Structure 1
Amino acid sequence: MEFVFETRSADLSFVETIWHTHSDRAGSFTSSAVSHWEIVIATFNGKTKIVARGPETKASLADFPAEAEFFGITFKLGTFMPHLPVKTLVDRQDATLPEASNTSFWLHGVSWELPTFENADVFVNRLIRQEILVRDPVVEAAIKGHKPDISIRSLQYRFLQATGLTQKTIQQIERAHCAVWLLEQGTSILDTAFELGYFDQAHLTNSLKHFIGKTPAQIISKIAVP
């Protein structure tokens, strides 16, 4: 099935997006590689589970239950929790946060009320005020193309700490998603490869198969169906 997402932006420099979706029936889907980590709240069978989900470095098959509600807070690159290293969450090594009650959970030794799609901003602001959620301005600057005045090794360390990934891996994932966008806008496979600096069409194809789980031809054929 195709998930229909409701999203909204947040007036917070720490948050990329806040999203909500649901499933009508059980099934599976191809989960694309992503460079951001997030907190996800899933409710099904009358129970709610909250997890910290890390970035994914490759496409993989994911299962989902029937009649479930999903709500998530996706954080901007460079935002992290020092007590919960992002690198320990990479590639489906999700951390389930312990339940405190039917409406609360434990985080960093404190009981927190479960956030909702509507009040996620309040929840994040509390995390920021209590310095449970922080951000690395050096990583943010490097992602925007600025060259920080630190050694390459120091920058690599800070990327791993703040994002769980290397800067190169993040660039590869973002480039793959950009390629998907170009192909969906009608750009040819050859032009997409050239515009994004892939060596050739084979390089583009291998990249999309690894990060997105589809070839350029499959992406184009899907949008060509009326």
Structure 2
Amino acid sequence: MLFTSEVRSSDSSFVQAIWRTQSEGTGSFISPAAIHWDMLVMRYRGKTTFAVQGPETKATRASVPADAEWLGITFQLGTFMPDLLPIRLLDRHDVNQALATGKSFWLSGSTWEVPTYENADTFVNRLVRAGLLVHDPLVDEVMRDDPLDLSARALQYRFRRATGLTHKTVQQIQRARQAATLLEQGCPILDTASHLGYFDQSHLTNSLRRYIGQTPAQISRAQHLE
């Protein structure tokens, strides 16, 4: 096992999840495409770093050092920082925030205490009160397919500004993750493709290669080996 992880929910409506992970050894893993962005605290060899990591439009392989620890705050779709828009962070264009001390970092001209797993909610609430985190409710309305009195161009602009992604890309990533879950649960490949509206098995395969980093057969085979 490369990681040991723990995940919890948050009291903040701006947050999808709060998690922490520790690496058990050196290695690599496939990081699937993601529609959310994160704030990440990493501790490695006595050094602490604070980074903002954006959404990812394709699966990538990431290296992992041994005995490193991460704290992550994953934000809800539509939550963003006006001073650091998600589109600037897209596909591993992470931004590292300069540390002020061993326990604080600089963000938007002020110093902030590095959050912990326990006080991450308080940290997020402070960011919201300071106006550094906002949420565009239009994203929720688009995801619910609510009727909206805006032009297609205006909708696309606001959706991408808040998420860094187009609505179509979000849908494609979500569908690929649903397909991977069905395959992991033992659903046959052709049934998975049909259930989720893929044209055929080839369409499903191309989607999973791009967004999950594995073929349907590889995902199904791993499920049988467990």
- TM-score range normalised by the length of the shorter chain: over 0.9
1:182 and 2:182 aligned? yes
Give the equivalent residue in structure 2 for 1:93.
93
Which residue matches 1:76?
76
Q: Which residue of 2 aligns with 1:213?
A: 213
User: Which residue is 1:106 aligned to?
Assistant: 106
* SS of residue matched to 1:5: strand
Structure 1 pair 67–2 and aligned structure 2 pair: CA distance change class (3 A): closer
Amino acid at match of 2:89: L
Is 1:60 aligned with 2:65? no
CA distance in 1, matches of 2:79, 2:120: 16
For the pair 1:41 / 2:41, whether they are aligned, the reply is yes
Count of residue pairs the alignment pairs up = 226
Secondary structure of 1:4's partner? strand
Deviations 1:48-105 (A, max 9, x none): 1010000000011111211000110000000000000110100000000111110000
Structure 2: 5+ residue stretches without partners: none
TM-score of the two chains, using structure 1 as the length reference:
0.98
Deviations 1:106-141 (A, max 9, x none): 011110000001100000000111111000001121
Q: Distance in 1 between matches of 2:66 and 2:2?
A: 13
- Encode CA deviations 1:26-59: one digit per residue, 9 max, x unaligned: 2111111001001011100100101000000001
Is residue 171 of structure 1 aligned with residue 171 of structure 2? yes
> Which consecutive segments of 4 or more residues in structure 1 shift more than 3 A?
none
Q: What residue identity is the alignment partner of 1:161?
A: R
Question: Normalising to structure 2: TM-score of the pair?
Answer: 0.98
Give me the whole-angstrom Cα distance separating, in 1, the residues matched to 2:214 and 2:44. Answer: 30
Q: Is the 8 A contact 2:71 2:117 kept in 1?
A: yes
Opposite residue 174 of structure 1, the aligned amino acid is: Q
Counterpart of 1:23 in structure 2 is 23
Alignment match, 2:10: 10
CA distance in 1, matches of 2:35, 2:3: 20
Asked if the contact 2:2/2:26 (under 8 Å) is kept, the reply is no
RMSD: 0.9
Show the counterpart of 1:224: 224
- Consecutive unaligned residues of structure 1, counting only runs of 5 or more, are none
- Indicate the residue corresponding to 2:146 in structure 1: 146
Question: Quick one: which amino acid aligns to residue 82 of structure 2?
Answer: P
Q: Distance in 1 between matches of 2:147 and 2:110?
A: 38
In 2, the alpha carbon distance for the partners of 1:212 and 1:183 equals: 12
Q: Is the 8 A contact 2:176 2:207 kept in 1?
A: yes
- Aligned-partner residue type, residue 79 of structure 1: T
Residue 161 of structure 1 aligns to a residue whose secondary structure is helix
Percent of paired sites with the same residue:
55
Q: Which residue does the alignment assign to 1:204?
A: 204
The 3-state SS of whatever aligns with 2:191 is: helix
Work out the CA distance in 2 between the residues paired with 1:110 and 1:144.
Answer: 37
Q: 2: distance between equivalents of 1:21 and 1:176? A: 24
Q: Is residue 134 of structure 1 aligned with residue 131 of structure 2?
A: no
2:143 counterpart letter in structure 1: I
Q: CA offset at residue 209 of structure 1?
A: 0.4
